């Protein structure tokens, strides 16, 4: 089994989460964790699971992840299991009331990533996951790395 985790990160929070997700897989799964800027579409060939993650930027995935998702040829993820994640400030940590309302309306990055993966033919095997940061530049909230590792472990059980 082969899993590919692709992420974009600006302040290292999403990168830390991506690596922790990869650590959650058992040794029978070959896991590759790559920055979106280092990825080429050839790496999608032969994978069993594609996980894509991004920081939430203006209620949506980061630009590099959006560009990558757009570049995937139509239906080329047929037969590939897929999942998405994001890093975000939790609703209860947002201090500005207007911003809370906007998040409730527009949401976070993981959901649109999942929709795009499904549109490209991927079989979504988990609800989009969110991992929380304390502020725009981080740090990650306590226990989020363990949460990510546990999520990775749960995904590894779904690809067999």
Domains in the chain, please, with CATH? 2-156 (3.40.50.360)
At 136 the pLDDT is 85
Q: Does pLDDT of 142 surpass 90?
A: yes
What's the CA angle centered on 52, arms 49 and 56, to 5 degrees? 160
Condensed to tens digits (0 to 9), the pLDDT of residues 53-95 reads: 999 999 999 999 999 999 999 999 999 999 999 999 999 898 8
What mean pLDDT, rounded, does the chain reach? 96
Condensed to tens digits (0 to 9), the pLDDT of residues 1-36 reads: 999 999 999 999 999 999 999 999 999 999 999 999
* pTM of the predicted structure, to 2 decimals: 0.97
Mean pLDDT of 99-128: 96
At 86 the pLDDT is 98
Percent of the chain having pLDDT more than 70?
100
Mean pLDDT of 42-55: 97
- Beta strands per DSSP E along 43-149: 49-57, 60-61, 81-89, 123-124, 129-133
At 60 the pLDDT is 96
Q: What is the Cα–Cα distance from 69 to 19, expressed in whole angstroms?
A: 20
Q: Does pLDDT of 160 surpass 90?
A: no
CA atoms within 13 A on the CB side of 154: 12
Q: What are phi and psi of 31, to 5 degrees?
A: -115, 130
Q: DSSP secondary-structure letter at 74? A: T
């Amino acid at each position: 089994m082969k899993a590919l985790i692709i992420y974009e990160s600006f302040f290292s929070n999403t990168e830390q989460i991506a690596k922790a997700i990869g650590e959650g897989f058992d040794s029978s799964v070959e896991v590759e964790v790559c920055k979106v800027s280092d990825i080429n579409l050839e790496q999608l060939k032969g994978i069993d699971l594609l996980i894509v993650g991004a920081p939430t930027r203006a209620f949506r995935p980061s630009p590099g992840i959006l560009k990558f998702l757009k570049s995937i040829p139509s239906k080329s993820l047929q037969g590939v299991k897929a999942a998405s994640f994001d890093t975000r400030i939790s609703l209860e940590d947002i201090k500005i009331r207007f911003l809370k309302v906007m998040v409730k309306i527009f949401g976070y990055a993981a959901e649109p990533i999942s929709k795009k993966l499904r549109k490209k033919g991927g079989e979504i095997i988990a609800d989009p996951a969110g991992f929380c940061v304390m502020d725009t530049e981080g740090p990650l909230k306590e226990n989020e790395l363990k949460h990510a590792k546990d999520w990775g472990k749960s995904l590894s059980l779904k690809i067999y």
